[in-house]
Amino acid sequence: MKSRLVYLAGIDGSGKSTQAVRFVEAAQADGQPWVYRWARWEPWLTDPIMKLGRRLVSRGSGRGSARPEDDAGYESFTAGKQRIFRRRWVRSLWTIVVLLEYLPQAWWRLGPSLLSGKTVLCDRYLPDVWVDLAVNFSEGVEGVERLSRHPLCRLFPPIDRMVFLDVDPQVGFTRKRDGTPLRYLQDRRPLYLGLQRVLDFTGVDANGSVEEVSEALRQVLYGEDAG
């Protein structure tokens, strides 16, 4: 395997973390220099802004300040966020703020392993931010494509290979069982499918058992190169 940063994409419930850990453990047992890293953006400095925005959205929807845990609540909450971001300058400014906050986080989590020459299997990364922003901006696949071309994205550790664990939203919802609304998953799957076409993801059917998906992922990431 020649790539250094491998990114696993997929909606919640697709098994990204489980499959990444299983693959890396098996690769390390075979003496391969793989490591697993979770590199999701976390709102450190922007957390007060997000909490304020959440309260404003919740008041406008007539709900409490907690994030809604059902489809109706999710739709109302998302619609409120989309109203906040209906102005282009607000979308542009928030994109810059998020990417600038995320940039040092990404390098802190991924940089040491990459600089040491290891191959990193990454669960949660920059494309997940594009998908979430596109949903909040009500921009669809076109928005994801636009965000992927943002100049600040060139400053992040580059992805060498991408694999999309594709799962039916209903299957992901059944697996997740953590309060994530089904509609949340349904909104995001088309955007990942769009990214798969634009960025040339390798697709893996993640609807099967853990063992079946592990074998399919192994063939994509290791078996092909070994052969």
Residue-level pLDDT at 58: 65
7 versus 196: the higher-pLDDT residue is 7
Residue-level pLDDT at 60: 55
pLDDT digits (tens, 9 = 90+) for 67-122: 555 677 788 888 888 888 999 999 999 999 999 999 999 999 999 999 998 999 99
The mean of the pLDDT values for the chain is 87
Question: pTM for this structure?
Answer: 0.87
DSSP 8-state class, residue 155: G
* Residue 206 buriedness (CB in 10 A; 0-12 / 13-18 / 19+): buried
Look-up of token digits 């990114």: 7
d(CA 43, CA 50): 8
Mean of the pLDDT values across residues 176-197?
A: 88
Share of the chain above pLDDT 70, in %: 90
The answer, yes or no, to whether residue 8 has pLDDT greater than 90, is yes
d(CA 191, CA 180): 17
- Point out the least confidently predicted range of 86-100, 121-135, 187-201: 187-201
For 5-45+99-226, CATH number?
Answer: 3.40.50.300
d(CA 50, CA 31): 43
d(CA 76, CA 87): 19
The token pair at 106 is: 């990404």
